Amino acid sequence: MMILLESTHSNNQSAQISFAPLVCAQDYPEIYNPKYDFLGQSYASMYPNLHKYPATMLPQIGLELFRDFKAEKSMLLDPYCGSGSSFMSGIEYGIKEFIGFDLNPLALMITKAKLTFIDSQMLLEEKRNMLNQILIQKFKKQEMVDYKLNKNPLDNITNLDFWIEKNAQDDLKIIFSCIKSISNITIQNLLMLAFSETLRESSYTRNNEFKLFRMKNHEQYKPNVVDIFSKNLESLVHDYLTFYQPKIQKISFNVTNSSFRAGKHSFDTILTSPPYGDSRTTVAYGQFSTFINEWLGYGEARKLDSKLMGGSKATNFYNKGFIKDYIFEIAKADKKRALEVSSFYFDLETSIKSMLDSINRKGKVFFIIGNRKVKNIILPTDRFIAEVFCNHGFKHLQTIKRKISNKSMPLQNSPSNRSGAISSTMNEEYIVVCEKYGAC
């Protein structure tokens, strides 16, 4: 077993990796399979995004995995389902029942919208009426506006005026109240995605970032909120009716806003893509979703990232299996970082263990993961996942390495957390495939 360290020399082979031999543990080799690269493809190559979400998975990967490993067509679990891409793989493969968990309310809103069947005529009619209502409300005098809301949602937004221009605030409130007055909850949920995109786009947030940063010259930004919403709404309804609705007529699903909880179901297949590290230093799912989560009254919106995997502080190093050597290596340079990294592995291990009993014998798990770099040390999270499963009654079938292209996540990070110290990272992903032992 080796620990991968990025070379510090700056010669013409500066991109090369040097190897520091360390303790050898059971190995879970990675095999590169170009078939899984899907070069140039993104989530949207197969399905348009109903709403942006960071680090979405390619449904094409899941579909190929199901075929290659002859997955059962029974109920599919995704314990970190995000915007529900794994379920799209399942639908293409012929699976009809889906169970998902995610701590981010926005993620579940997107997943529900993708999986809920709505009659076309009803949707188009509600959309038309709602747009008319918005125009009527907008041209009424302010004091006559009938918001039909119990609570002013603008009060939920922290630092409201810092983030959203005054006129935009009024228009957003009108649009929201018109969506809320739709009696059909599934239509409300779908159309709320257009509102959520509009909220983000019309705020002062820099739109090409997952984290919340205010744009430069924000004083000059005077968004036409109703126009932005109308465009988002048209493309949302078109994409839903064209790409999703025809495929979801005969499916059922249940998604829960929590970490995985064992219930009455057991599974032959898990397909998932867990976070690659804590939200603070990898992908800030919580920050990306802050405005809509706050707007909808989710009181913990600003704390979400600290509740996600690796978000809490560990008080001791993770010191099991072979990942401990990597953590000790990081600790030599920075104890605090080593504790942060430990926290992620503690959480990931606890999370995996919570689902073991819910997997049937011969059940297959597919975990898609990136191996992040901290302090110039590449952390083999794929091997960590394989090891946790193999320590608990599973065998490792394969780890497939694939090249990433088009994934909506930062390909550059600051491995030392020093500004300016940027190195490219995670150009590859790993698909860990394990199977629960069949014998009693």
Please identify, using beta-carbon distances, which residue of 259 and 290 lies nearer to ligand SAM.
Answer: 259
| Minimal distance, residue 85 CB to ligand SAM, in Å | 3
| Minimal distance, residue 55 CB to ligand SAM, in Å | 4
Distance, CA of 122 to CA of 106 (rounded, Å): 24
Q: Are 58 and 86 in contact (CB under 8 A)?
A: no
Distance, CA of 101 to CA of 258 (rounded, Å): 6
The candidate with the shortest Cα–Cα distance to 382, out of 369, 364, 400, is 369
Distance, CA of 108 to CA of 106 (rounded, Å): 5
| Minimal distance, residue 39 CB to ligand SAM, in Å | 18
| Minimal distance, residue 346 CB to ligand SAM, in Å | 11
| Minimal distance, residue 78 CB to ligand SAM, in Å | 7
Cβ within 8 Å of residue 419, ≥6 positions away: none
Q: Residue 318: phi, psi to the nearest 5?
A: -70, 120
Please identify, using beta-carbon distances, which residue of 102 and 165 lies nearer to ligand SAM.
Answer: 102
Please identify, using beta-carbon distances, which residue of 83 and 287 lies nearer to ligand SAM.
Answer: 83
C-alpha separations of 403 from 3, 367, 371, 406, 407 in Å: 21, 16, 12, 10, 10
Cβ within 8 Å of residue 100, ≥6 positions away: 77, 78, 79, 81, 84, 87, 108, 111, 253, 254, 255, 256
Please identify, using beta-carbon distances, which residue of 80 and 326 lies nearer to ligand SAM.
Answer: 80
Please identify, using beta-carbon distances, which residue of 7 and 354 lies nearer to ligand SAM.
Answer: 354
C-alpha separations of 429 from 57, 62, 407, 420 in Å: 11, 13, 10, 25
Please identify, using beta-carbon distances, which residue of 184 and 351 lies nearer to ligand SAM.
Answer: 351
Determine the residue with CB nearest ligand SAM. Answer: 82
Please identify, using beta-carbon distances, which residue of 101 and 176 lies nearer to ligand SAM.
Answer: 101
| Minimal distance, residue 311 CB to ligand SAM, in Å | 8
| Minimal distance, residue 49 CB to ligand SAM, in Å | 10
| Minimal distance, residue 95 CB to ligand SAM, in Å | 16
The candidate with the shortest Cα–Cα distance to 206, out of 241, 163, 171, 256, is 163
> What is the contact surface with ligand SAM in residues (CB under 6 A)?
53, 55-57, 80, 82-83, 85-86, 101-104, 107, 259, 273-275, 285, 308-309, 351
Q: What is the dihedral of CA 419, 280, 108, 174, to 10 degrees?
A: -60
Q: Are 357 and 333 in contact (CB under 8 A)?
A: no
Please identify, using beta-carbon distances, which residue of 84 and 223 lies nearer to ligand SAM.
Answer: 84
